[in-house]
Amino acid sequence: MSASEAATFILHLLRPVEATQERLETLTALLERLTTFLEASEAVVVYALGLLRRALTRAGRRHLDGADVEAFAIVAIVVASGMLEDATFSKRDWAALVRRSPARLVVWEARFLALLGFETLISRQEFEKVRRRLKALERLEVVG
């Protein structure tokens, strides 16, 4: 799975008005930087997308714009890498990687975890559902 496919998955979670080509390119670049730095496995990315999907579902009617979703995608990768690969990088390292301040990253993480109800485990069913959706998107890209 590529960063582009993961970014496309995230765009499908947004309202159509915010799912722009520019946002796709921004998300793809962010995800490429993060996954390259981490040498992240597909499982980390799928896990992160599962967390992101759950957080956005729980956000429901609260207004979250595309910038919020980009921030939460970053934090989801940070959390998933810690959960699955015991990647213990400092906030300063993460912040430098995504070109934001460590303080901003901490605020994003707090908001994201609050949306999750501080539940960072996903079930096997959630994991497989995200993986299936990614495979479906991959088939659409190949055909399209």
| Over residues 91-101, mean pLDDT | 77
Residue 51 · residue 116 · CB < 8 Å: yes
Paired tokens of 129: 């559902």
Rounded Cα–Cα distance for residues 76 and 116 (Å)? 11
Which domain CATH number covers 43? 1.10.472.10
Overall number of domains in the chain: 1
Residue 104 · residue 67 · CB < 8 Å: no
Residue 141 · residue 28 · CB < 8 Å: no
Q: Which pLDDT belongs to residue 118?
A: 92
What is the C-alpha end-to-end distance of the chain, expressed in Å?
17
| Over residues 51-72, mean pLDDT | 76
Rounded Cα–Cα distance for residues 84 and 78 (Å)? 10
Paired tokens of 87: 């990647």
pLDDT value at 141 more than 70: no
Q: Which pLDDT belongs to residue 32?
A: 77
Of 2-16, 44-58, 112-126, 129-143, the least confident: 2-16
Reported as half-sphere exposure (CB side, CA atoms, 13 A), residue 37 has a value of 19
CB atoms within 10 A of CB 57: 10
Paired tokens of 89: 């990088």
Q: Which domain holds residue 127?
A: 3-143
